Amino acid sequence: MISINKSSRDQALDLMRGIAIIMMIMFHLIYDLNEFGYTNIPLSNFWLTSYWRYLIVFLFLNAVGISLVIAYGKSFNLNKFIKRLALLGLAALLVSVGTYIMFPDAWVYFGILHLIWTGTLIAIFFIQLPKISLFIAALIFLFGYLNLTDLSLLRILLSNYLPLSSVDFYPLFPWIAFIFTGIYLGHNPIYKKIFFVKLPLLQLIGQHSLIIYLLHQVILFAFVGAIYSLFSQ
């Protein structure tokens, strides 16, 4: 979700991120409208919205794997990588703190950014191994099919300190598999045949996906809440 240097930008990757961001904003807008009683669209137990959410995460996580290959595949810069991790870690911390304030009974302790941070730390060791990465992803998918991958170690080890539910929870397994498929795609960029259209606005959004991710829900929730307050008086 972190942008790479403009001189080495991958327009297809930016478009992939941009589409994911727009889909995410639409999803969260519906969530907010539901929260304030304007709509009653099922988001968690309806197949269409469930697959919509899965597609968003699929695009984001594959983009993480692809961007790791682009950024570090030819040469590994430790300082650059540490800065990347620090930025992601700070963003994940902000999400945890913000949701703890807004939703103390369902705050985010391991959401998508926490997953990306942990997955990046693991996947960096495989960026030169696309076939092995694909094999690892296949194994995780297999274990997921057998219901063996939802380890939820944080819930087990810290059950006394974590909420019973979370507004955003993505366990490392099986979701890290899509970062590994992204590494494979970074070496075999078939995604460029799908995201080949030049859409400057979407690509610009994709270039700033992290900051948009951090701000969009705050803005949406405040906007819908303000309308609710205005018309409920």
State the chain's mean pLDDT as an integer.
90
Instruction: Assess contact for 182 and 63: CB atoms under 8 A.
Output: yes
Phi, psi of 158 (to 5 degrees): -120, 35
Per-residue pLDDT tens over the stretch 36-92: 989 998 887 888 888 999 999 999 999 999 999 999 999 999 999 999 999 999 999
- Distance (Å, whole) CA 170 – CA 173: 8
Predicted pLDDT at 3: 47
Q: Reply yes or no on whether the pLDDT at 150 is more than 70.
A: no
Q: What SS3 state is found at 206?
A: helix
| Domain locations along the chain | 6-231
- Looking at the DSSP assignment, which residues form a beta bridge with residue 110? 169
The pLDDT of 215-219, averaged and rounded, is 93
Q: What is the mean pLDDT of residues 212-222?
A: 94
pLDDT at 5 over 90: no
For 2, the 3-state DSSP assignment is coil
E strands, the chain, are none
Mean pLDDT of 177-188: 98
What is the chain's alpha carbon radius of gyration, rounded to the nearest angstrom?
Answer: 18
Among the listed ranges 72-81, 101-110, 192-201, 204-213, which one has the minimum average pLDDT value? 101-110
* DSSP track, 109-150: SB-HHHHHHHHHHHHGGGTT-HHHHHHHHHHHHHHHHTT---
Select the more confidently predicted residue: 1 or 108.
108
Please state, in angstroms and rounded to a whole number, the distance separating the CA atoms of residues 225 and 63: 32
Percentage of the chain exceeding pLDDT 70? 89
Q: Residue range 165-190: average pLDDT?
A: 93
- Please tell me which of 100-109, 139-148, 202-211 the model is most confident about, judged by mean pLDDT: 202-211
Confidence check: pLDDT of 149 > 60:
no
Which comes out higher in pLDDT, residue 233 or 36? 36
Q: Does the structure show a pLDDT above 50 at 152?
A: yes
The DSSP output letter for 35 is H
